[in-house]
Amino acid sequence: MIEVRELTKMYRGTAAVNDLTFSVKPGVVTGFLGPNGAGKSTTMRMITGLDRPTSGSATVDGKPYTAYRRPLEKVGTLLDAKWVHPNRSAAAHLKWLAAANGFPKKRVDEVLGLVGLSDVAGRKAGKFSLGMGQRLGLAAALLGDPQVLILDEPVNGLDPEGIRWVRGFVRHLASEGRTVLISSHLLSEMAQTADHLVVIGKGKLIADTSTKEFIKSASTTKTVVRCDHMDELQAGLLEEDVPFERAKDDEDREILVIESQDTDWVGGLAFSCGVRLRELTQQRASLEDAFMSMTGDSVEYHATASPSLPAQPNPEEVSQ
């Protein structure tokens, strides 16, 4: 388990991380989200002993990372896939790490196989694509067969097959009872990968909840209805004092978008009004919608309009 308690990091009087408290439990994949500049990487660096907190603490299974004699057996990290010497081969890089930490050489072949780099083990890391570099970083994180994994943007540069592989792999690791903390800006992917979310903005905690609850709490239920007798159904909605909007769908057909009611309720109302429905669809918010809604005030940099580029949309408008 990773425990962060009242963690603060100041840089020249500015708080990069501000009184942050959360836990990462074993057996689930925890997504670590936030806009650029939110403090995610700084927090991960403090957990792994690379940065010293101004105040507060970060521990792994009750101890600071630096207190472990062989930390790679406890915590596997991918914080920067580019730190590999460009003239070393993938195998040589991993063998160097294995020798420095007392791991058997056969483990190098095992992790190269796990991440799909066996066929290019002898190639210099400097010739690797971004995605291949990410795979090599994952191999290094797995060398010690750790119970805790901290991965910063592990799918960066991967193709769709690689992204899907990482998703299944980290979920498999969590199913074995390991603790997995993973950050990413690919929100659609995090929605499929993470069971739990820790969301921060400007160094402060915004949310610490399940992925499902985070999406649910940041959005309202909407149901789309299409039928032949819109006026009758509209009258029923007005009588029940339920908010709705009359609109057109992508095929220019008239629809009703009904707020705060699910398909069961709307279907029951239509039946009581004697209206036959041609479409009854639940609109579900995405993780991106919820993220933009919850973190809109925490975005550090906002784009401005230019003659050739549209202005960056208001996050509140995007989430609607």
What pLDDT, in 10s, does the model give residues 82-102?
A: 778 888 999 999 999 999 999
d(CA 168, CA 164): 6
The overall pTM is greater than 0.95 = no
Q: How many CA atoms lie within 13 A of 279 on its CB side?
A: 15
The segments of the chain whose pLDDT lies below 70 read 218-220, 285, 296-320
pLDDT at 1: 95
pLDDT at 7: 97
pLDDT at 298: 57
Based on DSSP, count helices (H) and strands (E) in the chain, helices before strands.
11, 13
What pLDDT, in 10s, does the model give residues 286-316?
A: 777 777 777 766 555 544 444 444 444 444 4
If one looks up domain 220-283 in CATH, what number appears?
3.30.70.100
Give the single-character DSSP code of 213.
Answer: H
What pLDDT, in 10s, does the model give residues 98-139?
A: 999 999 999 999 999 999 999 999 999 889 988 888 899 999
Domain ranges of the chain: 2-74+146-216, 220-283
Name the class of domain 2-74+146-216. Answer: alpha beta
pLDDT at 317: 42
Give the single-character DSSP code of 162.
Answer: H
pLDDT at 81: 72
pLDDT at 289: 73
